[in-house]
Chains A and B, each alone.
Chain A
């Protein structure tokens, strides 16, 4: 039974036994905070009262009456406790003071971001978190709360487009939000290199040093680029030491962990390794769906969940998701077609056509081999008659890949997969394309198979 419903019934029972004045005074602002079943015949009820005077008053005067009414309504024995809780209305963020200054401060922060060469728009709020990047997100948040002390340096590594830079910039954003005058700077390993070369050429190494050594937060993207460049590494080493001893925060990203960066000086490597090193794995299906939703919202499009999932299931890199959304929004703007799953699927098939992962034509036999190896199934049973789930699913996946990636005709696919009817193939392809957006494991399996072919 619904809490509100129970409480309404209890109140109407109480109304009968109490005078109007008593009822209004004591019970008008009460409600059920929580209901918890203890056993088949017992439950614990928490009742919210607007002040402890009321809680105290009800408990002293009407406890028995209330318990009877509750027992009667719920046909259970009720253990009643009282808590002081007010039904909270959200503070109105449209009050002039809050509304205007938010815009104003955003503008100011954008200015401050520009000074530090930080691209705006990357905040913790619009960063989606799941298992693959949870650790990195927590570390970044800890650093933004306590820069220079929590983890110094903070080192993110991982593949392209998985949010290393986003997290790094979010730290800067959050620090500037607290204090606009925090000195932050963002550069890539290459920028850093170029600046040193330029400084040496124009004999302005002093200005260079002053610029970097007075920062509160230094962020260097793709630090691996400085490897093998002796003078640059030396300068970076000194900058690093100065900043660290001054209690400033350093955040670095790279495509691989420090010990795998070739030609990185040992003293730099050991310093990087002294901080916290976090790897960010490529996003899983759920995270990609979340990213799709966030990015779409930034473009002012409210995507239905099923469309976000269809996109997430078919595109694995967040950057390409962004690219696809650009395409989708411009397509919608030009054609004025309604946003449907079919439309998205149509566009997706074109997209995946553009970015075929296969460089050379793949033979159907190679695909059959790959599937049979992936699932450790003999080719005979894979192409045979058995309809057991363990065989049928790999077989359907096989047909799906043959049909969608190799673009074989239905009948040809049927012939290859143990002489099956073309309608069987159609059913298999339909089923897999539907499930691929719902079951993340399936998508990962198919990706794994495709990888083993190419």
Chain B
């Protein structure tokens, strides 16, 4: 089916949003020109857009008035810039040979494209859902878990979120310095005992792509193809699953504490932000002293000076001083909704557990910095 003569009209508002979304999945350093393109295709009275970097792919569709069916691929960057500069209202798209003609009112543009046959196959449908995710659950996964995953590709396994489906559904992510552990609800799963690693970045992208949508997300896990597909209304996001054995989170989870502190989230957040002024200049280190008076945060830079902040807290157990990377503390504090937190630790060389005091299902573990 080589229909190159596409002709349709669509609203600029609809088109611009979708093209911007799709363009996020185009590979940034594509060696193959077609991979920096977006595929435009007419389908069931809709205009469907696809993009992929061969690891993740997206398909997003929107209603349009279609006169002639057809397909083409055009460079994402050009298309995004062009469409975003068009005035709101009706836009007509027309394919002539290898060119996409875009016109509205007084503007008319031609973009050189590549025939769609060159474009990889991007799934545009979830045939059979393995489970469904509530929209809020995806939010939680992004807020509480995804940020703990590693971002560099040198440790591929740690760039994933480990989803373990047993009696509970557990999500774990770690970059080797900190770890998020979250028991999820709002996951509707039939098959017990499965577990898989999905790229944390994909979860974040999906969450962003869905924006204010509130519909449940259908998820298909294709273990054999090593693929996971998410569908919510008109957005279908496909990603590969990460291969390999995720580290055992149980081994990392501290099993006891010798010092414990309960305090307000905002107080600590303010204090960490303030101490970061000097910490930024000295390996991001903030020292926290736990004693019967509460917490004392200090940061020091040999060049610029030092700072000390008292934070009121209810403490139990031993007095101790522990050095943390302030960025990890900020990430945790920004990840929770509650207004008070609990910190448990066994000393300056072992991981500390940070918790939202109202949410026992979420545990965040941070490894202290050795000083």
Contact = CB atoms under 8 A, between A and B. Distances in A.
Interface of A: 20-22, 24-25, 50-57, 60, 83-86, 88-89, 91-93, 95-98, 100-102, 104-105, 108, 178, 180
A53 B55 contact: yes
Given A96-B176, A100-B349, A51 B247 contact: no
A57 B227 CA distance: 15
A97 B32 contact: no
Interface centre among B30, B54, B121, B254 (most CB of A within 10 A): B54
Nearest to B178: A97
Interface stretch (B10-18, B107-115, B236-244, B266-274): B236-244
A51 B240 contact: yes
Contacts of A22: 32
A85 B346 contact: no
Contacts of A101: 251-254, 350-351
B87 interface: no
Instruction: Please give me the 3 A-B residue pairs with the lowest Cβ-Cβ distance, nearest first.
Output: A95-B176, A84-B226, A51-B240
Contact of B365 (A91, A95, A97, A105): A97
Given A96-B367, A105-B255, 6 more contacts: A24-B32, A51-B226, A88-B243, A97-B367, A100-B350, A178-B250
25 contacts: A21-B31, A24-B31, A50-B55, A50-B240, A51-B55, A52-B222, A52-B225, A53-B54, A53-B121, A57-B121, A84-B226, A84-B227, A84-B240, A89-B155, A89-B157, A91-B247, A93-B247, A97-B179, A97-B252, A97-B365, A98-B247, A100-B351, A101-B350, A101-B351, A104-B350
Contacts of B253: 101
B131 interface: no
A56 B120 contact: yes
B246 A91 contact: yes
A54 B54 contact: yes
Contact of A95 (B32, B55, B177): B177
B57 A91 contact: no
A37 B256 CA distance: 55
B237 to A, nearest CB: 13
B338 to A, nearest CB: 24
B54 A25 contact: yes
A422 B67 CA distance: 107
A109 B306 CA distance: 40
Contacts of B350: 100-101, 104
B52 interface: yes
Nearest to A179: B255
A57 B54 contact: yes
Nearest to B174: A97
Given A53-B121, A84-B240, A98 B251 contact: yes
A55 B252 CA distance: 36
Contacts of A55: 225
Given A52-B225, A56-B121, A101-B350, A86 B243 contact: yes
A88 B251 CA distance: 22
Nearest to A54: B54
Nearest to A96: B367
Nearest to B119: A57
B186 interface: no
Contacts, number: 119
A25 B156 CA distance: 19
Of B32, B177, B242, B246, most A-chain CB atoms within 10 Å = B32
Interface in B7-63: 30-33, 35, 52, 54-55, 57
A428 B179 CA distance: 65
Given A25-B31, A97-B179, A101-B251, A88 B157 contact: yes
Interface residues of B, number: 47
Nearest to B245: A91
A180 B253 CA distance: 12
Contacts of A105: 251, 254-255
B206 interface: no
B220 interface: no
B209 interface: no
A53 B120 contact: yes
Contact of A21 (B33, B52, B122, B351): B33
B158 interface: yes
Contacts of A178: 250
Contact of A20 (B31, B252, B254): B31
Given A88-B243, A96-B176, A25 B35 contact: yes
Nearest to B369: A96
Contacts of B57: 53
A60 B244 contact: no
Contacts of A96: 176-177, 367
A56 B226 CA distance: 12
Contacts of A88: 156-157, 243-245
Contact of A98 (B32, B121, B252): B252
B226 A85 contact: yes
A11 B321 CA distance: 57
A253 B155 CA distance: 47
A280 to B, nearest CB: 30
Nearest to B351: A101
Interface in B152-187: 155-158, 174-179
Nearest to A21: B31
B255 A180 contact: yes
A349 B122 CA distance: 72
Nearest to A57: B120
B160 to A, nearest CB: 10
Interface in B319-371: 346, 349-351, 365, 367
Nearest to B150: A95
A220 to B, nearest CB: 27
B255 A108 contact: yes
B176 A98 contact: yes
Interface in B196-246: 222, 224-227, 240, 242-246
Interface in B279-301: none
Contacts of B54: 25, 50-51, 53-54, 57
Interface string B85-112: 0000000000000000000000000000
Contacts of A89: 155-157, 244
Contacts of B243: 84-86, 88
Contact of A104 (B33, B120, B157, B254): B254
Contacts of A24: 31-32
Given A20-B31, A50-B240, A180-B256, A102 B367 contact: no
Contact of A97 (B33, B176, B242): B176
Contacts of A102: 251
A53 B351 contact: no
Given A57-B54, A57-B120, A108-B256, A84 B32 contact: no
Contacts of A53: 52, 54-55, 57, 120-122, 240
Contacts of B175: 95
Contact of B155 (A51, A54, A92): A92
Nearest to B240: A51
A18 to B, nearest CB: 11
Interface centre among A52, A57, A108 (most CB of B within 10 A): A52
Contacts of B122: 53
Given A53-B121, A86-B156, A88-B157, A25 B32 contact: yes
A131 to B, nearest CB: 29
A403 to B, nearest CB: 54
A101 to B, nearest CB: 5
